[in-house]
Every structure is written in structure tokens, then in C-alpha cells.
Amino acid sequence: MKTTTCSAMILAFCCGLMSSALAQPAPQAETTCFESRKGASEVVKRDLQPGWPNVKCSTKTGAVLWWGDPFDGTVPMGDMPLLEKVPPGHAVVKPRSEKLALMPMCGTACHNGVGPQFTPPKLPVGKKPAPIPTMAAMVPDLQNLQHGRGRIWCLDCHHTTQRNKLVDNFGDPVSFDQPQLLCGKCHGDKMRDWRDGIHGKRIGEWASTGKKRWFTCTECHNPHNVQDGARNRGFVQIAPETPPQLPKGMKDAKHELLHGVAQH
């Protein structure tokens, strides 16, 4: 009798442990959404503090709808010509280098400048990239490079010896975190408009001297295939969404009709 009772107690205890384990919720999958271009500026949703997420993601398009902190994960932009009027640290960007999966391979493993097998004695005469199966597999866009419509090639943008760097007009290396210094070589008008806040995207403080996050060129544009999308115009179209819901307790958005400056 005692043996039966003991066995029953052990069985009940084990069943209780199993029930407890089964009752625990499964770990939630990470939510990732893109800030400006899918696959290029993706961010993982997380809480900056309890109940305060870093981003709100669209369930329809997967794009960021709202930033809990527009400066989360940003660093100072660095030296930028004709932006001397911006106070130091008020122009910030989100580093791109750490998100480029091929950067360590291209800049360290293959094009590291060590040995003749990695650095040819002289560069090709023509500006047509040689078909390399490994490169085509890693970056399919290179098989039909659209940027420049046949007028440019790889080393117009990438440094000849430092493949983990871009190159400016003077042949000096440029960080992947500052692609505007490269793009401005050909797109001077867009560079000017980007600098003045007409072209591109910024988030942060609205005051003219306030701190802002600048979105760099490659966060919005795919440099290898600028003729993207069905329109062949550089961007894949995103279906518009309905406006976000008003905060709880607010019946309308008439407050947006009010101005901080007195009207005369």
C-alpha cells in the first residue's frame, strides 16, 4: 500500500512539473521592420524602458511608423563640407558598416592587398566588371549593374586597395557610414538638396538648430540597382496606410490647426 501511494505521489509530482513546463509561454519571435529601405535599414523592435518601444512597426508594410527615440543607436555624422553651421553633435547618423554582412569578407578575406592572387598587378583597362561567379552569387545586382547606365564600374565607387572603403574625388578612402561624400561626386544637386533638408529624410527635433538624425544615401537607395521596382524609377512602391489612431481620450486632431506663432 505504501509502495503504491509513494509511486502515485512521484507520478503526480512529475506530471505537475510537466504541466508547469508546458504552461510556460514560448519565447516571442523578434519583430524586425525597416526604417527607409527594406533589407538596408532594418531595426529590431525592443523596449527602451517598460512600455516604451524603440519603434512601432507597420503590420501591413513592415516599415517603421514611429520612433520611441530617434537618436537610438546613432553617432555624430563627422566632417561634412558646408555643414559647419550645424552645432557639433547635432547631426547624427546610424552606422551602416556593422550591418553590411559582406564587408568583412570583401575587405579582409579577399581584397586585403596581400598576395598577387588578391591584388592584380594592374587594373583592367575597360570599365566593365569581369564576370566572377563568387561575386555574382553574393551580390546578384552586379551581373546587370544599373547604376550609371554602363558609364561607371566598381572602382569608381570602391577604393582600389581598401575594399572596405569607398573613394572620394581625390582618391581618398571614405567610410561606408558617410556614403554622401561619394555620391556627391556625381549627384551634386542632390547632395546640395540633401544637405539643405530638401532631399531625403530626417527625424528628430524640429527646431532649425535642434538635433536631427540624417538618413544617408544608401539607407534609401540601392547603389547597385537604382532602377528598382515596377516603375523602374528607383523605389519599390509601398501601398499607403490609414492615418494612425489618435491617443486615447482625444476625439479629433484640431490641435494640429493651432500654431505656436500668433496669427495677425
| Whether the predicted pLDDT of 235 surpasses 80 | no
| Whether the predicted pLDDT of 193 surpasses 70 | yes
- Report DSSP state, residue 169: T
What's the average model confidence in pLDDT over 21-33?
65
pLDDT level of residue 17 (50, 70, 90 thresholds)? very low
What's the average model confidence in pLDDT over 145-160?
81
Domain for residue 262, yes or no? Answer: no
Residues 167 and 215 in one domain: yes
Domain for residue 125, yes or no? Answer: no
Residues 35 and 148 in one domain: no
How far apart (Å, rounded) are the C-alpha atoms in residues 65 and 58?
6
**DSSP states of 102-114:** THHIIIIIISSS-
Question: CB–CB of 232/222 below 8 Å?
Answer: no
Domain for residue 196, yes or no? Answer: yes
Domain for residue 233, yes or no? Answer: no
Residues 145 and 52 in one domain: no
- Minimum mean pLDDT range among 77-81, 125-129, 180-184: 125-129
Question: CB–CB of 169/181 below 8 Å?
Answer: no
How far apart (Å, rounded) are the C-alpha atoms in residues 167 and 179?
9
Residues 104 and 43 in one domain: no
Residues 134 and 149 in one domain: yes
Residues 84 and 190 in one domain: yes
Domain for residue 252, yes or no? Answer: no
* Structural domain of 54: 30-69
Maximum average pLDDT range among 76-90, 146-160, 187-201: 187-201
Question: CB–CB of 78/180 below 8 Å?
Answer: no
Domain for residue 217, yes or no? Answer: yes
| Whether the predicted pLDDT of 155 surpasses 90 | no
Domain for residue 239, yes or no? Answer: no
Residues 194 and 87 in one domain: yes
Q: What is the tally of structural domains in the chain?
A: 2
pLDDT level of residue 121 (50, 70, 90 thresholds)? very low
**Paired strand residues for 61:** none
pLDDT level of residue 93 (50, 70, 90 thresholds)? very high
How far apart (Å, rounded) are the C-alpha atoms in residues 43 and 64?
9
Domain for residue 123, yes or no? Answer: no
Residues 57 and 96 in one domain: no
Looking at residue 124, what is its pLDDT? 64
Residues 181 and 142 in one domain: yes
Residues 47 and 146 in one domain: no
Per-residue exposure over 168-202, b if at least 16 CB sit within 10 Å of its own CB, e if not: eeeeeebebbbbbbbbbbebeebbeebbeeeebee
Residues 45 and 104 in one domain: no
Mean pLDDT of the chain: 77
Looking at residue 122, what is its pLDDT? 57
**DSSP states of 192-223:** HHHHTTSSS-EEE--STTS-EEEPPHHHHS-T
Residues 102 and 154 in one domain: yes
| Whether the predicted pLDDT of 120 surpasses 60 | no
Looking at residue 139, what is its pLDDT? 76
What's the average model confidence in pLDDT over 164-175?
89
